[in-house]
Amino acid sequence: MTTPTHVAVIGGGILGVSTAAHLVRAGARVTLLTEGSWASGASGRSIAWLNSSGDRSAAYHYLRIVGIDRYRSWGAHHPGSERYLRFDGALKWAGPDESFRETFDFERRNGYDAVWVERADIATIAPDVDPDSVAAEGAIFNPGEGWVSMPDLIAALVADAVAAGAIVHENVGRARVDVQDGVAIGVVLADGSRIEADHVVLATGPAVPADLAALGVTIPDATPAAFVLFTDPVDVPVHTVLNTPRVAVRPTPDGRLVLDADWAEQSVRVADDGSLTVPEESVAGLLEEASRVLAGHPTLTASRVGAGLKPIPGDGDPAVGEVPGIRNLSALFTHSGATLGLILGELVAEEIVGGAPSPLLDDFRFARFVGETVSEPVATGAWSPVGED
């Protein structure tokens, strides 16, 4: 009898946990390790909007569509997931001196489910929105979009993985890939202990570029400091994901709201020691902007701020799969962790267990960075969503 491939996965966010769950489902022996607790990094402070909104390359758009499909499959086969996984649609509108008509036309031409909504009809589509806050030209409603609570999903994936035989370890501190003669042979934990493995998966979120650099592999990195704001529970029902010129809003399973915005993200101060400070005026501004766009203008108060680094590859596209120059090492590094979380875990697991590369990942290999020195993000279209996942 052939001994199953043993894979060590480093990372307790959506990409690491999803990969581990799919690996054990595919027949691999799996050890899953995380520096802190599950979802304690970027996954725990994500707007987690499930979408393929706006102008993207055909390959990236298709990958995101498949990613959303996997969430629908998950919901159909996991009773109770409707508490933390919802597809109630999303609404977006343009800011002053802008128009979303071209964005709408682009989405429709590419078969994306998009409906143009006049301001007068907003209440029939999204009763949780104040119509007066919407652009005079109207808004785009994407009925097939939704949101997920990443900590809840990650907990469910870990439970599935453990039930299938995975060995999991939380709070192990920083782990590093053990590479000998160009081959990944396991993981070295913070205490110096080692775990041998036939293959290693690196899914450490914004730390991936530094972790790879320590192994002699350089990739372009556009990771910024960012934060999301969690409100206290609100008395008004909010179901629709909102992407507005000044704030993105989505609900949580416990009746709170998650808020973010590009302007607020850019206000984060980074100290020399890497610590982050979120200005109080940015917190107050997000609360004010969210109240302004919601029906009834509820009084919103802050519960907590989730600040940290937001993983973004230098060219804006996902970087997934085998790491050039190091055998038996795969990595996942992407901004769109929520939308792509389930599908990337599935595809990477299939490549490791089955040995055949997935054509869906052809445009997103780390090999495209060989020889690259770019460190700034490349624009991907005329409009970029405020509340990207």
Segment 115-135, tens digit of pLDDT: 999 999 999 999 999 999 999
Whether residues 209 and 262 share a domain: the answer is no
The per-residue DSSP string of 117-155 comes to E-GGGHHHH-TTB-GGGS-TT-EEEETT-EEE-HHHHHH
Spatial CA neighbour of 314 closest among 226, 224, 388: 224
Taking alpha carbons only, the member of 305, 293, 318, 331 closest to residue 388 is 318
**Average pLDDT in the 179-197 region?**
97
Among 233, 248, 235, CA closest to 304:
233
Closest of 328, 357, 371 to residue 181, by C-alpha: 328
Query: Any idea which residue has 């006049």 for tokens?
Result: 118
Does 236 reside within a domain? yes
pLDDT of residue 377: 37
2 — pLDDT class (breaks 50, 70, 90): low
CATH number at 116 reads 3.30.9.10
Q: Does 374 reside within a domain?
A: no
Q: Do residues 96 and 228 share a domain? A: yes
Q: Which two tokens stand for residue 212?
A: 């790879």
Could you give the CA distance from residue 217 to residue 325 in angstroms, rounded to a whole number? 8
Q: How many domains does the chain have?
A: 2
How far is residue 376's CA from residue 106's CA, in Å, rounded to a whole number? 26
CA distance 188 to 193: 6
Domain boundary among 270, 288, 309: 309
Residue 73, beta-bridge partner list: none
Q: For residue 55, what pLDDT is reported?
A: 82
For residue 167, what are the β-bridge partners? 31
pLDDT in tens, 334-371: 999 999 999 999 999 999 999 999 999 999 999 999 85
pLDDT score recorded for residue 56? 85
- Compute φ and ψ for 100, nearest 5 degrees: -105, 10
Task: Please indicate, yes or no, if residue 58 is contained in any of the structural domains.
Answer: no
Q: Are 276 and 267 in contact (CB under 8 A)?
A: no
Residue 13 lies in a domain: yes
259, HSE (Cβ side, Cα atoms, 13 Å): 33
Residue 50's identity, in one-letter code, is L
Last-in-domain residue among 259, 284, 309: 309
Q: Is residue 295 located within the same domain as residue 244?
A: yes
Whether residue 367 contacts residue 324, with contact meaning beta carbons closer than 8 Å, is answered with yes
Q: Given this model, what pLDDT does residue 385 score?
A: 58
Considering the domain architecture, whether residues 13 and 108 belong to the same structural domain is answered as no
Which helix (DSSP H) or strand (DSSP E) does residue 33 occupy?
Answer: strand 29-33
Give me 160's structure tokens.
């599935």
DSSP assignment of 176-207 equals: EEEEETTEEEEEE-TTS-EEE-SEEEE--GGG
Which helix (H) or strand (E) segment holds residue 260: the answer is strand 257-260
Q: How far apart are CA 323 and CA 315, in angstroms?
A: 17
Residue 235 exposed, middle or buried by CB count within 10 Å (0-12, 13-18, 19+): exposed
Is the domain of 210 the same as that of 337? yes
| Domain of residue 355, residue span | 6-46+151-221+314-369
Q: Which two tokens stand for residue 80?
A: 């109770």
The single-letter code of the amino acid at 326 is I
Average pLDDT of the residues in 148-175: 98
In angstroms, rounded to a whole number, what is the distance separating the alpha carbons of residues 71 and 74?
Answer: 5
Does some domain include residue 248?
A: yes
**Beta-carbon-side half-sphere exposure of residue 225 (alpha carbons within 13 Å):** 15
Strand, coil or helix: what is 159?
Answer: helix
Q: Does residue 159 share a domain with residue 231? A: no
Contacts of 172 (CB under 8 A, 6+ apart): 33, 34, 35, 189, 190
Same structural domain, 239 and 272: yes
Q: Which CATH number fits the domain that encloses residue 187?
A: 3.50.50.60
**Distance between CA 389 and CA 382 in Å, rounded?**
18
Do 331 and 292 have their domain in common?
Answer: no
One domain, residues 33 and 162: yes
Is residue 51 in a domain? no
Instruction: Go through the chain and tell me how many residues it has.
Output: 389
What pLDDT, on a 0 to 100 scale, did the predictor assign at position 3?
67
Q: Does one domain contain both 363 and 237?
A: no
Residues 172 and 210 in one domain: yes
Answer yes or no: is 389 within a domain. no
Q: Are residues 335 and 323 in the same domain?
A: yes
pLDDT at 386: 54
Q: Which amino acid is at 100?
A: F
What pLDDT digit, counting tens, does each position of 214-266 carry? 999 999 999 999 999 999 999 989 999 999 999 999 999 999 999 999 999 99
Q: Measure the CA angle with vertex 78, ends 72 and 82; round to 5°.
A: 65
- Quick check: is 376 in a domain? no
